[in-house]
């Protein structure tokens, strides 16, 4: 079927209609069923689709239900400088729902640049990342045990690298108003020390030891008494792995949720080392990151 059709005009002459003749309201009704990237693609077809693709009624359903809170949070971070005072100052507020969606898709750093949130451009779900610098790590200030590595393999451009230690404990927390729904939380870890030489990625594994003796425990708790625990042997060297801690459910989009999460390996009969701790990630449950290696129990 082509993009045009014939109709009989008032003067008895046959004419041709095309997609460009469709009313914007009809086009908008169709776009409601498309994901944001698809809406942007069909907007290139003609003027009618381009106009409909900018309509608030199309984008309202793509935004999280508490988008006003998220937008205000982002605006406050922009004004104050989410990276601890190194922002660009005040910016104009987006006026249309499409502009709001685009703004929220852009990562917003907060807590001195050690945390970020954004919405997924495909489904509009909220995502967060918490840097290792925003967590309490036992012995982090002792250079015998830990060091900070600069790397482009982290969205925060640095990771905490464990040389060796007897007692491993990493604790973090987050207060945030999540849109209602189910979420999964992960620790992003890497066995071995990644670096580049002569333009090639290399992983130094000479300090990797002790992880096979006992599983590492991951824990999650929420302010409304949800709890999750998982355990994994850290085995795969040379790749970033997302270790699934657990899931939690948000029922009220207007209520502040407090999360506490931790990573423990406290068997003091042996040392362990050679581990990079990058961040904790929170995604809508079922979200699949194309480039991530995910481990579930």
The domain ranges of the chain are 24-61, 126-284
Q: What is the pTM of this model?
A: 0.86
Render pLDDT for 27-66 as a digit per residue (tens, 0 to 9): 788 888 888 889 888 888 888 888 888 889 999 999 999 9
Higher pLDDT, 35 or 134: 134
Mean pLDDT is highest, among 2-16, 79-93, 190-204, for 190-204
Residue 232 has pLDDT above 90, yes or no: yes
Backbone angles phi, psi at 72, to 5 degrees: -65, -40
SS3 101: helix
173-177, 186-190, 284-288: segment of lowest average pLDDT: 284-288
The confidence band for 297, taking pLDDT boundaries of 50, 70 and 90, is low
Six token digits for residue 3: 């993009």
pLDDT above 70: residue 20: no
How far is the C-alpha of 162 from the C-alpha of 274, rounded, in Å? 6
pLDDT band at 125 (very low <50, low <70, confident <90, very high): very high
What mean pLDDT comes out for the span 168-197? 96
Task: State yes or no: pLDDT of 1 exceeds 60.
Answer: no
pLDDT of residue 16: 54
- For residue 7, is pLDDT > 50? no
Q: What is the mean pLDDT of the chain?
A: 88
Tokens linked to 71: 């937008």
Residue 25's pLDDT band, with cuts at 50, 70 and 90, is confident
Thinking of the domain 126-284, which architecture would CATH place it in? Answer: Sandwich (2.60)
SS3 for 170? strand
Among 284, 105, 99, smallest CA distance to 179 is for 284
Q: What pLDDT is stored for residue 53 in this prediction?
A: 86
In the DSSP assignment, the letter for residue 133 is G
What are phi and psi for residue 105, nearest 5 degrees? -70, -25
Question: What SS3 state is found at 284?
Answer: strand
Q: DSSP label at 40?
A: H
- Phi and psi (nearest 5°) for 260? -125, 135
Say if CB 30 and CB 58 are below 8 A apart.
no
Per-residue pLDDT at 15 exceeds 80: no
Residue 8 has pLDDT above 80, yes or no: no
CA distances from 147 to 90, 125, 239, 256, 275 (A): 35, 34, 19, 34, 11
What confidence tier does 19 reach under pLDDT thresholds 50, 70, 90?
low
């Amino acid at each position: 079927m082509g993009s045009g059709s014939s109709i009989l005009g008032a003067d008895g002459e046959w004419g041709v209609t095309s997609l460009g003749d469709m009313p914007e309201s009809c086009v908008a009704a169709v776009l409601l069923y498309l994901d944001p990237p698809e809406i942007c693609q069909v907007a290139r077809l003609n003027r009618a689709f381009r106009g409909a693709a900018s309509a608030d009624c199309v984008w309202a359903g793509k935004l999280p239900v508490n988008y006003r809170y998220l937008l205000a949070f982002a605006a406050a971070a922009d004004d104050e400088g989410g990276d601890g005072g190194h922002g660009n100052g005040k910016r104009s507020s987006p006026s249309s729902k499409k502009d709001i969606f685009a703004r929220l898709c852009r990562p917003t750093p907060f807590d001195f640049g050690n945390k970020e949130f954004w919405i997924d451009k495909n489904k509009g779900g909220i995502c967060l990342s918490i840097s290792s610098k925003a967590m309490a790590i036992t012995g982090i200030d002792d250079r015998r045990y830990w060091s900070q590595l600069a790397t482009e393999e982290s969205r925060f451009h640095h990771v905490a690298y464990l040389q060796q230690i007897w007692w491993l404990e990493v604790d973090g927390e987050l207060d945030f108003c999540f849109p209602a729904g189910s979420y999964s939380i992960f620790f992003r870890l890497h066995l071995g020390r990644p670096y580049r030489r002569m333009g090639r990625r290399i992983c130094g594994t000479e300090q990797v030891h002790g992880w096979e003796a006992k599983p590492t425990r991951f824990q999650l708790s929420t302010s409304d008494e949800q709890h999750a625990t998982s355990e994994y042997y850290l085995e795969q060297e040379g790749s970033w792995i997302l270790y699934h801690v657990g899931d939690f459910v948000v029922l009220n989009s207007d209520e502040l949720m407090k999360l506490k999460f931790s990573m423990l390996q406290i068997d003091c009969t042996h040392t362990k080392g050679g581990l990079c701790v990058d961040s904790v990630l929170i995604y809508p449950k079922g979200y699949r990151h194309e480039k991530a290696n995910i481990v579930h129990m």
